[in-house]
Amino acid sequence: MGESTGAGRQMVRIRAALQWVEPEVWRVLDVDAEMTLEELHRALQVAFGWRDYHLHAFAQELDLPKDVTVPADARGASSTRHGTSVEYGPMGERRLRKYWRDERSLAEGMTGIPEADAKVGEVFAESHPPVEYEYDFGDGWVHTLEWVDTCAGEPGESRATLVRAEGNTPWEDSGGPPGYAEMREAAGDPTHEDHLPAARWVHDLQGPWVWPHGTPPDVGLISRELARQFPDVDAAPRRPTAIDALIEIMVDGWVPEFRIYLDRAGVDLDVAVTDPAVDPSVIQAAVRPFAWLLHRVGPTGLKLTAAGWLPPAVVVDALAELGWQDREVGTGNRENQTNSVFDLRHTAMAVGLLRVQKGMLLLTPAGRKVADDALGLWRHLARAVVDRAKTDVERDAALLFAVELAAGRDSTWDHPRDRLRDPYGDAVADALQIVGWTSRSGEEIDAFTARDAGRLALDVFDILGAWERNSRTRRGAATEAGRAFARDILALPADLARHRSSSGR
């Protein structure tokens, strides 16, 4: 709908302020006058960061004709045709309100006219009264929408743009203004008697992709998402990526938050990456463990011990030549007692670089092809993390762990049983539920289940040095190589990342 550029388009500036919330929360948007109220609803959801879980309505208070009568015992009188309702205000006064609603609300018998039939330019004007936009009738989040200006659109201007913003939107389902105020106080005060349960509740409400409460809303990134929601009709198509495959199975209300999260982390969602945005020397250093093992196996293969393990001399050499001695305790000459070397060998097999036949460890055709090609090995590993997943949930987990790594989420693995201290596992567990997964028992997925599903991806990430290693067991911040590798996974073609079957979710 609308012109392909901003030129010739009328834009309406609207100030939307959330009522009864402190500190104050408001947004100023420029929207196409031809936009419907249905589209304005979508724009407001993105601008404020709501997730579109609940019903909503637009309402405007009109002058009440003197000849309107209401029975004394009636709460109100309505006109379905005109979408109006005569109601009693908080002091018993009568008032006439006009409602615009979505199809679901109208189907349930609520008074109103279709919001898809009303245009912004018709509802908002200098001479018109403000409009109330209520979202979630249970919590009662009421926004006052006021006309500010109407002007000609600029060339290239999006149909919806966020101009200014103040304040963090309350958490979804936090109990309306009173409940939000109580929860915010308890969660923010470590000395509060309800601090721990409130903090955990907030943690659950926030989800995996929200930036910390108190971070100012990013006007530029929200405007970028609005441009995606309302694209120009002649926008150039782009190759769908693995990110798009995730979005296809995601609950719609989470999509803007997900994309803004990646935007904020510097992951370019609008350009398909063809080459890694990292120095070749970084790639060569990252893939060195795999390249070392491929060379050690060589074209003739490597004979395993009678028990099927790497020879002790190979284990010792691996630790020495890869600089991994500080990762192990003991003599470090037995593969089954040397975790880092065990993981390297078995991960190389899992991604299709090595195979075992008649007691020999051999290169696969793919292993031979990339043994002397660092970039080719890097690309093979990125593809294998997704393509070699055995199930759809493992594929989704691999992509979601790549999302967190690309975003640079810090990793704390030394206390994984504390759900507030396992950022990766906890975030991916939440995300798996957002895309439709549950545990076999039907319960919520926890961090351990998420890590188990994403095990192949995590092993590859770890061997590539995706996180700074602060000690033998503790990982820290994401490295340049780790984030670049994750971005390349997310830039894979969407067809590679789509589900092979529709069952199981």
Q: pLDDT tens, 372-413?
A: 999 999 999 999 999 999 999 999 999 999 999 999 887 765
At residue 415, the pLDDT reads 43
**Percent above pLDDT 70 for the chain:** 87
Q: pLDDT tens, 338-373?
A: 999 999 999 999 999 999 999 999 999 999 999 999
Distance CA(430)–CA(439), nearest Å, equals: 12
Query: Any bridge partners for residue 149, and if so which?
Result: 13
At residue 39, the pLDDT reads 98
β-pair type (354-357, 76-79) = unpaired
Over range 87-94, report the average pLDDT: 70
Q: pLDDT tens, 250-285?
A: 989 999 999 999 988 888 776 555 566 788 999 999
Q: Give residue for tokens 């002091």.
A: 91
Task: Provide the residue type at 198 as one letter.
Answer: A
At residue 418, the pLDDT reads 43
Task: Provide the residue type at 257 as one letter.
Answer: E
The answer to whether residue 73 scores a pLDDT higher than 90 is no
H/E stretch holding 58 reads strand 56-62
Q: Which two tokens stand for residue 7?
A: 């030129």
At residue 250, the pLDDT reads 92
Q: Which two tokens stand for residue 149?
A: 């200006």
Asked which of 111-125, 236-250, 303-317, 455-469 is least confident by mean pLDDT, the reply is 236-250
Of the pLDDT bands very low, low, confident and very high (cuts 50, 70, 90), residue 477 is confident
The answer to whether residue 331 scores a pLDDT higher than 60 is yes
Helices 219-229 and 37-48, interaxial angle, to 10°?
150
Mean pLDDT of the chain: 88
* CATH architecture for the domain at 10-166: Roll (3.10)
Task: Provide the residue type at 299 as one letter.
Answer: P
Over range 292-319, report the average pLDDT: 97
At residue 96, the pLDDT reads 86
Distance CA(284)–CA(374), nearest Å, equals: 5
Over range 174-195, report the average pLDDT: 94
C-alpha distances in Å from residue 259, one per residue of 30, 95, 128, 250: 21, 42, 35, 12
Over range 298-306, report the average pLDDT: 97
At residue 476, the pLDDT reads 80
Of the pLDDT bands very low, low, confident and very high (cuts 50, 70, 90), residue 75 is very low
In this structure, are residues 406 and 445 in contact, taking their beta carbons and an 8 Å threshold?
Answer: no
CA angle 47, 50, 51 (to 5 degrees): 125
106 versus 155: which is more confidently predicted? 106
**Percent above pLDDT 90 for the chain:** 67
Q: pLDDT tens, 481-494?
A: 999 999 999 989 88
What are the residue boundaries of the structural domains of the chain, listed by start?
10-166, 240-272+389-505, 299-370
pTM value is 0.88
The answer to whether residue 500 scores a pLDDT higher than 50 is yes
Q: pLDDT tens, 22-56?
A: 999 999 999 999 999 999 999 999 999 999 999 99
Nearest residue to 211 (alpha-carbon basis) of 176, 136, 281, 263 = 263
Measure CA 207 to chain center.
9
Distance CA(434)–CA(452), nearest Å, equals: 18
The answer to whether residue 226 scores a pLDDT higher than 60 is yes
Of the pLDDT bands very low, low, confident and very high (cuts 50, 70, 90), residue 67 is low
Asked which of 100-114, 154-168, 222-236 is least confident by mean pLDDT, the reply is 222-236
At residue 92, the pLDDT reads 66
At residue 338, the pLDDT reads 93
CA angle 126, 13, 80 (to 5 degrees): 65
At residue 63, the pLDDT reads 77
